Amino acid sequence: MTRYFAAASLAALLAAAPAAAKDFKLTSPDVANRKTITEPFLYKGFGCEGGNTSPALAWKGAPAETKSFAVSVYDPDAPTGSGWWHWVVYNLPASTTTLARGVGDTSGSQLPAGSIQARTDFGTTGYGGPCPPPGAKPHRYVFTVHALKIDVLPIPVDASPAMVGFMVRLNSLDKATLTARYGR
């Protein structure tokens, strides 16, 4: 009888876990999942003439035990052998559920207190929009919000995106993504 209740409890927990993960959602009024990213959110430089404005993001359904968030924009199709980090912001307070359009400027002054923008693969902090090589097939841009189990990531302010990514994954409770595309 005890084995039956243990097995039933385990089955209930396993069945509930995927449902909880599906509740964590990331949306944007500016960037739609599986759609093309538009001019205001493209990079300005490297031959691209976009507005280089970070899109508005919103999320809901994070795990109750979330203590902070990290947000990233990553291009896995960049011809570098390791992809391209377009934006990395971390130590967002657990009360954060939105980032307004434009908060990813290099100053970071509009981000919630305590938030840090890591250096991107452009070599600067702040949002850097899509700008794939001319003639390449459209690249994927993966926008991700990570729910973290710690308040503050224990890394230096000038940490590389790879270091931030390592610490984010080490402390992640769950994540929500949306993937948009852009080619030129």
Write down the pLDDT at residue 13.
36
Instruction: Per-residue pLDDT tens, the chain, 184 aa: give them.
Output: 444 333 333 333 333 444 444 799 999 999 999 999 999 999 999 899 999 999 999 999 999 999 999 999 999 999 999 999 999 999 999 999 999 999 999 999 999 999 999 999 999 999 999 999 999 899 999 999 999 999 999 999 889 999 999 999 999 999 999 999 999 9
Write down the pLDDT at residue 26.
98
Would you say 96 and 112 are in contact if contact means Cβ atoms under 8 Å apart? Answer: yes
Write down the pLDDT at residue 61.
98
Write down the pLDDT at residue 119.
94
Write down the pLDDT at residue 7.
38
C-alpha to C-alpha distances, 154 to 70, 87, 130, 164, 166, nearest whole angstrom: 13, 19, 29, 9, 11
Write down the pLDDT at residue 135.
92
How do the domains of the chain map onto residue ranges? 23-182
For 41-65, give one letter per residue: b (16+ CB within 10 A) or e: bbbeeeebebebbbbbbebeebbee
Q: Which CATH architecture has domain 23-182?
A: Alpha-Beta Complex (3.90)
DSSP label at residue 112? P
Write down the pLDDT at residue 19.
42
Write down the pLDDT at residue 15.
39
Would you say 85 and 74 are in contact if contact means Cβ atoms under 8 Å apart? Answer: yes
Write down the pLDDT at residue 180.
98
Write down the pLDDT at residue 3.
43
Nearest to 141 by CA among 24, 36, 28, 21: 36
Write down the pLDDT at residue 144.
98
Burial class (CB within 10 angstroms; exposed 0-12, middle 13-18, buried 19+) of 8? exposed
Write down the pLDDT at residue 53.
98
Write down the pLDDT at residue 133.
94
Cα separation, 48 vs 44, in Å, equals 5
